[in-house]
Amino acid sequence: MRLGTALVAGRAVPVLQRRGALLPLAGGSLLELIAADATPELAPDAEPLVGVRLAAPLRPPKIVAIGLNYLDHVRESGMDAAPERPLVFTKFPTSVIGDGDRIEFDRSLTERVDWEVELAVVVGRRMRNVAIEDALAHVFGYTVANDVSARDLQFGDGQWVRGKSLDTFCPIGPVVVTADELPDPQALGLRTRVNGETVQDSNTSEMVFGVAELLSFCSRSFTLEPGDVVLTGTPWGCGEFMDPQRSLGHGDVVEVEVDGIGVLRNEVVVHGAD
């Protein structure tokens, strides 16, 4: 199933996307449906919603992110070798936006804002000390994420949370595709386009630590709850490491895409831009 959240007269409504149409689901928010661990059902007499758009599928209780998890990205970052264990950080849930929303920042705060396409995992069942071989059974589904990063803050602070967590710096969506439709998360193409130009093009098979290993590793350190989102890292092609270096600017349009899920499109608005 392809599940999301639509804005209907300013109200968030969980929906099923079927052949391009959005059908309302019974129950509360998509997060509540995930937590209930029940098969989503259409609302009584459900009819396709007209004149609505998708918002972020959910506001996760927490966002766990993984750094340097593709060998090609490790190399472009100037490191000699991949990390020996997953590099874990977090993004604040207040950074979440959806497809079509604007990535916004103030130039007085940051001038080096970068893109990062990522496969995002939506946890479906509580995870604590889960073995690798059992980890994927706890996945509700997958979505697309853009781990937008203020590189000057990320590297200047000496830790990553602020530079990764500015408001609007975590677009996710457009929908969550349930795990049964994507049985192998290590065989998905993913790419980024900036103003139509492809800048990232790779495959989740290139991950240093696969999805099951990441989930198991995290669950041994802290509990993952239903609705939590795990960002699994980005491949080569980030603007910060290009020659010459590139950063997002006012009016840029960023599209991040994962095969089998969809395209997440966001325009950039820079306050204080000339």
Res 201: pLDDT: 97
What is the pLDDT averaged over residues 199-204? Answer: 97
pLDDT digits (tens, 9 = 90+) for 31-62: 999 999 988 999 998 899 998 999 999 999 99
Biggest CA pair distance of the chain? 59
pLDDT digits (tens, 9 = 90+) for 245-256: 999 999 999 999
CATH topology for the 63-271 domain: Fumarylacetoacetate hydrolase; domain 2 (3.90.850)
| The amino acid at 174 | P
Q: Smallest Cα–Cα separation from 200: which of 240, 230, 234?
A: 234
Res 274: pLDDT: 64
Write out the residue limits of the CATH 2.30.30 domain(s) in the chain: 2-54
Percent share of the chain, pLDDT over 90: 88
pLDDT digits (tens, 9 = 90+) for 123-148: 999 999 999 999 999 999 999 999 99
- The strand pairing partners of 178, in sequence order, are 141
- The strand pairing partners of 170, in sequence order, are 96
Res 74: pLDDT: 76
CATH 2.30.29 for domain 2-54: no
Regarding predicted confidence, which is higher, 191 or 84? Answer: 191
What is the pLDDT averaged over residues 53-77? Answer: 90
Write out the residue limits of the CATH 3.90.850.10 domain(s) in the chain: 63-271
Res 81: pLDDT: 76
Res 110: pLDDT: 97
pLDDT digits (tens, 9 = 90+) for 214-272: 999 999 999 999 999 999 999 999 999 999 999 999 999 999 999 999 999 999 999 99
The verdict on whether omega for the bond into residue 44 sits within 30 degrees of 0, i.e. cis, is no
| Cα 166 to Cα 177: distance, rounded to the nearest angstrom | 26
Residue 18 has which token pair?
Answer: 């079927």
Encode the chain in three state secondary structure. CEEEEEEECCEEEEEEEECCEEEEECCCCHHHHHHHCCCCCECCCCCCCCCCEECCCCCCCCEEEEECCEHHHHHHCCCCCCCCCCEEEEECHHHEECCCCEEEEECCCCCCEECCEEEEEEECCCECCCCHHHHHHHEEEEEEEECCEEHHHHHHHCCCHHHHHCCCCEEEEEEEEEHHHCCCCCCCEEEEEECCEEEEEEEHHHECCCHHHHHHHHHCCCCECCCCEEECCCCCCCHHHCCCCCCCCCCCEEEEEECCCEEEEEEEEEECCC
Res 217: pLDDT: 98
Task: Tell me how far CA of residue 212 lies from CA of 119, 132, 207, in angstroms.
Answer: 13, 5, 11
